[in-house]
Amino acid sequence: MLNGSTHHTILHGHLFCGLGGGAKGFNAAKARHGTLSADFECLGGIDVDPAAIRDFERLAGVPGTVLDLFDRGHYRTFHGTEPPADWREAGPQDIHRAFGFRRPHILFLSAPCKGFSGLLSERTSRTPKYQALNRLTLRGIWLTLEAYKDDPIEFILFENVPRIATRGRELLDQIVALLRAYGYAVAETTHDCGELGGLAQRRKRFLLVARHARKVRPFLWEPPKRALQGVGDVLSRMKLPGDAGAGPMHRIPRLHWQTWVRLAFVEAGKDWRSLERLAVQHGLLRDYALVQDTPGCSPAASEIPDPRPSNHRKFANIYHVVAWDAATSTVIGRSQPSDGAMSVADPRPGLARGKGDDYLTAGHYGVVRWKDGCGAVSAAAGHDNGRWAVADPRPPLPAHDDRLISVIRAEDGTWHRPFTTAELACLQSLFDPEEQAELDGLNDTAWRERIGNAVPPDAAQAIAEAMGRTLLAAWSGESFMLSAAPIWVRPIAIAASVDLPLYQ
């Protein structure tokens, strides 16, 4: 309850905090209700990954705690071995210690989601290893409930991938039953982080909202939705990839030559399936060739071996290329375009020549269309003299498995290239585009996994402000209110105003 002041501080703590995107967003939040206002203070975060905790401390501005929340049995199941001699099971006292022996008003957790992700097959998700990983969520929530059972946390928020509502149904039912036993009213909902945070990506997520029914009686409002940006709105504010002052996270990844060719033929806004439009004769593309686009080179066209990939399982988003003015789909932790990581159709001419040339290892090329099946080639993809001719011998192209960086101007005139790691971090709103992205370590694969798992701070800020408004109303003694703002979960709007569990 309030102490007579009009300004207050809402305390938040984070389980499975990752690199601290959620904590950074909560810290930026401001809440207001009537004459009351509040800011937010982070008490700490808990994660098993030391590198993630070092990132957390940089982004959240407070100490984090490296802590393994497995029990011994699940540790053995997940790792396939006994824990080290100095390992011990975490207890409620460790939760108190991690949060500086203070009680948060909001607990936010984004638990490991690999077992629920559509990127993992149903069969693999049901193996004992991933079942043990999934149960970390249940144990983490139980430890926290026990730690604060004498003075419960007002809100517990559990964020995860949408598929958890089906693939993790049994686990969710256990979590809901546990929360109800400790006096919480529970609702399940989904939201799009892109719309909440005004991001340049669509990021659908599951959110379980647990409200302590005795402490928090008012409605929980839905955060306002914001318009999505195009990826170009973010990327155009950044330095060009490869710029000497951009830092190690803003490098173009080295890809197999065949991958560069495939990306060049994927139409912007589509994925590998657009390659099925290509006509092939005798193992070569019938209608297209590649021309070297480098000053001083004699213009000559090279025939292109069939670039179409075999994707027998028909996964979507493989070799996906995002249009410059469109929002991307969910930023994930995968590294390569061939396993789900996305690319962008970049129209900026400065990327074809100028800054960054020193790190290009295979020159510049342009996609051109054969004219009427004869030797002449029509102008395309940024070539402006209109007089290409085939010269023999044709210049050799790199081998399909050469790993390099190359600019290939696609038929639409843009460079279809992977996002840099720094760009993914900015699309997640972890950093402002004008600042240099910097995370712990020097490993792009590890960086991308932590970035893909992160909660976008701009979306977390919107969620925190909705929670904060409700807390201020509750602390002022209100138990029911009407508002033009939408209720977060409409079917439970009436039940949300009474002191009853909401999950029946």
Query: What phi and psi, each to the nearest 5 degrees, are found at residue 358?
Result: -65, -20
In three-state secondary structure terms, 447 is: helix
DSSP state of 452: H
User: Which tokens in the block code for residue 458?
Assistant: 């701009």
Exposure string over 423-462, b if 16+ CB within 10 A, otherwise e: bbbbbbbbbebeeebebbeeeeebbbbbbbbbbbbbbbbb
Q: Which H or E element spans position 293?
A: none
The DSSP 8-state label assigned to residue 253 in this structure reads P
Q: Whole-angstrom Cα distance, residue 285 to residue 300?
A: 16
Q: Residue 476 forms beta bridges with which residues?
A: none
Which is nearest to 455 in space by CA: 475, 429, 477? 429
Determine the number of helices (DSSP H) and then strands (DSSP E) in the chain.
15, 20
The label of the residue with tokens 């401390």 reads 57
Which of 36, 206, 232 has its CA nearest to residue 113? 206
Q: How far apart are CA 380 and CA 372, in angstroms?
A: 15
SS3 376: strand
3-state helix, strand, coil in the chain (%, to 5): 30, 20, 50
Distances (CA, A) of 171 to 49, 131, 476: 24, 10, 36
Between CA 12 and CA 19 the distance in angstroms is 16
- Locate 325 and state its tokens: 């003015």
Q: Which residues contact 104 (CB under 8 A, 6 or more apart)?
A: 11, 12, 13, 43, 153
Three-class secondary structure assignment of 309-361 = CCCCCCCCCCCCEECCCCCECCCCCCCCHHHCCCEEEECCHHHCCCCCHHHCC
Is 17 catalytic? The answer is: no
Residue type, 352: A
* Residues, the chain: 504
| Catalytic member of 113, 297, 374, 426 | 113
Compute CA distances 80 → 14, 49, 86, 123, 125, whole Å: 28, 18, 17, 19, 16
> How many Cα atoms within 13 Å fall on the side-chain side of residue 346?
25
Q: Which positions are catalytic?
A: 113
